A and B are shown apart, each in its own frame.
Chain A
């Protein structure tokens, strides 16, 4: 996900062997054909379609700015954007600290931690639809969790109450995706040179001090990678919310991609849905760039000085 690396280095001397290195370009043709046909052209197409009337079946006709006007004046657009932002912020606030701590935990080489790690990663194996159905059953007010544990607070209409439903969505999203980010952090932690910790313990730093002065700063780029994937990923999560709540109750859990789907394939307004698609693409690109910028440009700078 580190954007600039693809064009970063050119092997010195490659060009000098012969002057025809550009002739390799034809090798990219098959990949380009697919990518252009099913990603780049559709990306342009979504802009074009945002200025068209189309019900998904009939003729496409020019609409001018009417789609944009109606989508931008629809309170649900702002509402779904706000819901998306809320879901991103809350789920990051939950996922980042837990992923970091569990990443450090599972990076340890104690045997019980190795065994626990194997189980921690099981949610990754389930599709979003499976996870959604699991929690739909589990949160059933009569036959789920609350039927087993006689605590009054658990007897809620979890998916029927707008405030609770959003909390449930964030919880389930976190449940599903934390394992992946734990893996990312685990990989990061295992690359921190052991000598840093040895030096710190000679200086008398305890485990907590070592965590905050070595582990956390050393994980800066892991943090950027993980958070970028988390934010951009949350923007595309559609399936889990679709199966879990369908966007309801009311529109309490309608995030932007879900709203786009409903507008296009339920309300049969492909033009309006394309407007939402453009907003989604711009929003996602903006967020990805923002995080990269906040994280600092010089990703290649060594974190290991003095190690």
Chain B
């Protein structure tokens, strides 16, 4: 494969899987035929054209697809959103840990008390890197490994808790973190993991955490004139990130019901802990409502397209 073809294929990989299955070989061939002698990079004009066409192919109205496919894509979006939000929070937590490290060391905090939380943070971040690799290379085993690792971290966290711990409570701690990995493991063999479908919500989630952190920092400047990095800060920032996510998904959901399903799925995972720990099915009412609204919207889109 020539360097030009490799670069053209990197661009055509941005198209949805269904589009690639039908058109990719021809698209690559035709793009290569427009080359001039000695050309080793795609012409910027062609690169831009491919990028725009890929975005348009993804934005193709979900009304063209059966609701089952829309639902699956929405779940993939939701799982990626959750994962990216979590990665954002982990990065904040790691930053906070490093920020306090000199102070804690000087204050004589035992090494074990510092090393354990840091090791858990790094392990969890590594699991998410594994998830990204699993999605890009379609390696199912990596996704399973991540799910087990994160479930293990959750269980470990629950067992470290000093109070009485029963199995339900520990499972409630273990399962939500593993949810994006379980979704990935289920979807990789079905080849429904479009790269852009994974990248888009991941960027949205990370951007929201960054926005929430920046806003928080700005607000702290005005309110207290000092920037207090207390342990509660990360929780508050992640809550703010989740709130922004809610608003963003609802706004995007007006055009595309997949974002509503993503939101519903994120809420399910959020509430899974509560459901496992208390067995209260009310935790899922919000999700049921959101998914029903998404279905109604899909029907409306389909009808308006048919007419």
Partners in one complex: no
